Amino acid sequence: MLFEDPAYASQLLTLLTLSFHIIYATIGVGLPLMIMIAQWIGIRNNDPHYLLMARRWAKGFVVTVAVGVVTGTAIGLQLALLWPSFMELAGNIIALPLFMEVFAFFFEAIFLGIYLYTWDRFDNPKKHLLLLIPVAVGSGMSAFFITMVNSFMNSPAGFDIVNGELVNANPLLAMFTVSMPTKVAHVLATGYMTIAFLLAAIAAYRLIKGSHKEYHTKALHMTMKIGLIFALAAAVIGDFSGKYLAEYQPEKLAAAEWHFETSSEAPLVMWGMLDENNETRFALEIPFALSILAHGTPGAEVIGLEEFPAEEQPPLVIHYFFDLMVTIGMFLLLLSLVYWVATWRNWTFIQRPWYRWLIVLGGPLAFLGIEAGWWMAEVGRQPWILRGLMTIEEAATTSDYVGLMFIFFAVLYFILGVGTVVVLRHMFRKNPVEEDLAKYQGGEQA
Amino acid sequence: MTLEIIGISVLWLFLFGYIIVGSIDYGAGFFNAYSIVTRKEHVVSKIIQRYLSPVWEVTNVFFVFFFVGIIGFFPQTAFYYGTTLLIPASIALILLAIRGSYYAFESYGKRGHKGYAIMYGLSGLLIPASLSVVLTISEGGFIHIENGAPVLDYVALFFNPLTWSVVVLSLIAVLYISAVFLTWYANETGDQHATDLMRKYALGWSIPLIIAASGIIIELRFHNEEHYQRILDFWWMFAISFVLWGLTVWLIWQRRRYGTAFWLLVGQFAFAFFGYGISHYPYLLYPHFSIYEGFTNEAMAISLIVVFILGMALLIPSLYLLLRLFLFDENYKKGKK
């Protein structure tokens, strides 16, 4: 059977849980910031549209937070259930950021509870806005700490192994590893960017359907602007990440780029296919681009995959993940840049349905980009769970029931995923903006 | 006090916190479902929803805190318990997921889906049952080492009376703790019907609780003689616990000072829980590893304790704010705002 090898089954189950969790986790990181900005603009300009926006987003947020919390709990425990030997070692070095992540989550949970249930309890709306700051900070810090743990797995540091014994543990050095700055920054920037494009997609869709024009135009305008800022940030940080990889994890970069032979003036290979001799076909080659991505100069030498023993090479499929991520990122960057320039120059084509459909497409694409980026980062680390130290085989559980658990969790995530969509649709169908706005301006609870 | 003792005390305290807030939550879900089945939902559902909605996420964090903390302080637990607990812990996770999503799906989607409410109520009873299995395993005798990896003997575990005694105790404790708390909360909101109903449940579960708890001590005598002897050494802690139980029941019986009754209950469980924990010392898994063998390095232990203190400095005021706004706010309780 497919699941007979516990190590392979554990990989699949972890992949499943994480791929599902990051959808909700990304919303959890990005949405509080958007709610905060909307509510802030609403209070500052005394504009009920923005206040309503904050409120409607917050309502939807509750549903995704619930699923995010339970899947997050699942992955937290699964780490120990599926990778006991890894967690035993990691517990000695990397427990500190894991522990801090729980505190950040705790902090966020408390204030989110207060924020959601106190809409009308403060006479001064600014006090209510203040509650969102710990929520946004807490969720950002969660992402920060958990990505720190992941960085450690990519570039272990902060300890020595002497005769198989772990000595000289330094929790701080383990937290601030070489891959940490680019990873954390990229995760945060793409998280905020994704949620901006998700909300933009919803606004664009409602505009196509002819809903409340003023409200949705404001939402679209605001989110496209935020989206552009974070898309630019993500691209710049992505470039730094490439330079990090070239320096410290060259096998991942080489596999992602199908760069087999060490050479200077290396071209960047986009898409294409591999034949049996590892020759690329139908690919778009951008001259010098890989050397620039890796080292900043067109003539720089980039290490090829042939320098690594076959059993330490990551799977070549990560090339597609990398290309998917970069292509989507570029598409979203252009989409928001054009929108912004067109707004500034009063070009009206961005109000045409075809452009709005492109924005609608941007929402799901942004999530696909997030997934592809994580697949590239994680699959690209194989065969290691701790790069250079511990392989996946050594870390996995020896229990025989992982395959069975995979099926259980797959069913669970399916139900949760469908449930989220059904509940969210029901919620917003039942309360269209017009009605909410009328209630809201009438002083009633929306 | 050594770092090991500080570490395990902190974790034990958080586990205790989870048992109290988790029990309130799980029991409330069960009473909610039960009241729907018996068509009494108008009596308690509103109170339960009102209290639970803002705090369920916080309840969940207590649980996460415990398992992240124990791996931080005692990394070897990941090796022993991680490998062996795959099935019970996965089941608990799936049930937790059903519960967690209920709040969102039920409160914001279609209201009053009966099937979901019943599943939600039942999951609240099954989670403590599946988690309490860990307590049985920690007594030893169910895990042996094969080819350098721990293996759990499911058959021995399933047919052992101790396992079932612990499961029964955890179920009864959940219902009892929850009923006492909800009696108090219902009374605070001024809802007489709900108070009477919850009071009846609280009194009804008080006798089975004390029978089940005594039964476990007797079971232990046959299963783990060493632990049983140590429990006898700390007999006074269990005696205090028993007296506090008596006082709680008496106050509820007299319909007086439900708030005091709840805090006496917390004391009762604290003495029993810490008495049990101290007598289990120094083993985390009898007899395979103790808190001294499984402890993390000194640098990590110190930094975890520092972070813990800083974290608490942040959390305690926030928790206080949460409680003041929802649990002890006159207007909120009475449903005005």
pLDDT tens-digit readout, A148-194: 988 888 888 888 877 767 777 888 888 888 888 999 999 999 999 99
Mean pLDDT score across all residues of chain B: 80
Residue window 107-136, chain B: list those with CB within 8 Å of chain A. 108-110
Average pLDDT over residues A305-329: 87
Q: Which two tokens stand for residue A196?
A: 């901006």
Max mean pLDDT among A200-209, A249-258, B297-306 falls in A200-209
pLDDT at A17: 93
pLDDT band at A371 (very low <50, low <70, confident <90, very high): very high
Share of chain A above pLDDT 90, in %: 28
Q: Residue A124: pLDDT above 80?
A: no
Chain B residues within an 8 Å CB radius of A103: 307, 311, 314-315
Residue B277, chain A, CB below 8 Å: the answer is: no
Task: Give the closest-approach CA distance of B71 to chain A in angstroms.
Answer: 6
Residue window 79-98, chain B: list those with CB within 8 Å of chain A. 79-87, 89-90, 93-94, 96-97
State the pTM of this model.
Answer: 0.87
More confident residue, B198 or A226: A226
Chain B residues within an 8 Å CB radius of A118: 325
Average pLDDT over residues B130-153: 77
pLDDT at A26: 93
In SS3 terms, chain B reads as CCHHHHHHHHHHHHHHHHHHHHHHHHHHHHHHHHHHHCCCHHHHHHHHHHHHHHHHHHHHHHHHHHHHHHHHHCCHHHHHHHHHCHHHHHHHHHHHHHHHHHHHHHHHCCCCCHHHHHHHHHHHHHHHHHHHHHHHHHCCCCEEEECCEEEECHHHHHCCHHHHHHHHHHHHHHHHHHHHHHHHHHHHHCCHHHHHHHHHHHHHHHHHHHHHHHHHHHHHHHHCHHHHHHHHHCHHHHHHHHHHHHHHHHHHHCCCCHHHHHHHHHHHHHHHHHHHHHHHCCEEECCCEECCCCCCCHHHHHHHHHHHHHHHHHHHHHHHHHHHHHCCCHHHHCCCC
Q: pLDDT for A76-89, tens place per residue?
A: 888 888 888 888 88
**CA gap A128, B252 in Å, rounded:** 39
Chain A residues within an 8 Å CB radius of B151: 398
Nearest CA in chain A to B85: A81
pLDDT at B278: 84
Nearest CA in chain B to A73: B64
Give the ipTM of the model, two decimals please. 0.82
Size of interface A-B (CB pairs under 8 A): 214
Residue A80 and residue B67: Cβ atoms within 8 Å? yes
pLDDT at A194: 95
pLDDT band at B64 (very low <50, low <70, confident <90, very high): confident
**Which range is least confidently modeled, A425-429, B22-26, B167-171?**
A425-429
Chain A residues within an 8 Å CB radius of B317: none
pLDDT band at B111 (very low <50, low <70, confident <90, very high): low
pLDDT at A141: 92
Left, alpha or beta for B257 (phi > 0: left; psi -120 to 50: alpha)? left
Nearest CA in chain B to A80: B82
pLDDT at A446: 42
Residue window 208-267, chain B: list those with CB within 8 Å of chain A. none
Left, alpha or beta for A443 (phi > 0: left; psi -120 to 50: alpha)? left
- Cα-Cα-Cα-Cα dihedral sign, residues A157, A161, A165, A168: negative
pLDDT at A303: 82
Q: Which two tokens stand for residue A219?
A: 């939402």
Average pLDDT over residues A214-233: 92
Interface test with A, best of B51, B87, B93, B323 (most A CBs within 10 A): B93
pLDDT at B54: 66
pLDDT at A445: 46
Nearest CA in chain A to B146: A398
Q: Residue A444: pLDDT above 60?
A: no
Mean pLDDT score across all residues of chain A: 85
pLDDT at B328: 67
Chain B residues within an 8 Å CB radius of A397: 82-83, 86
∠A384-A387-A392 over CA atoms, to 5°? 20
Please spell the DSSP secondary structure of A278-309, one letter per residue.
S-EES-EEETTHHHHHHHSSTT-EE--GGGS-
Average pLDDT over residues B42-64: 72
Task: Give the closest-approach CA distance of B23 to chain A in angstroms.
Answer: 18
Max mean pLDDT among A349-353, A409-413, B20-24 falls in A409-413
Chain A residues within an 8 Å CB radius of B90: 81, 405, 408-409
Chain B residues within an 8 Å CB radius of A170: 299
pLDDT band at B239 (very low <50, low <70, confident <90, very high): confident
Residue B206, chain A, CB below 8 Å: the answer is: no
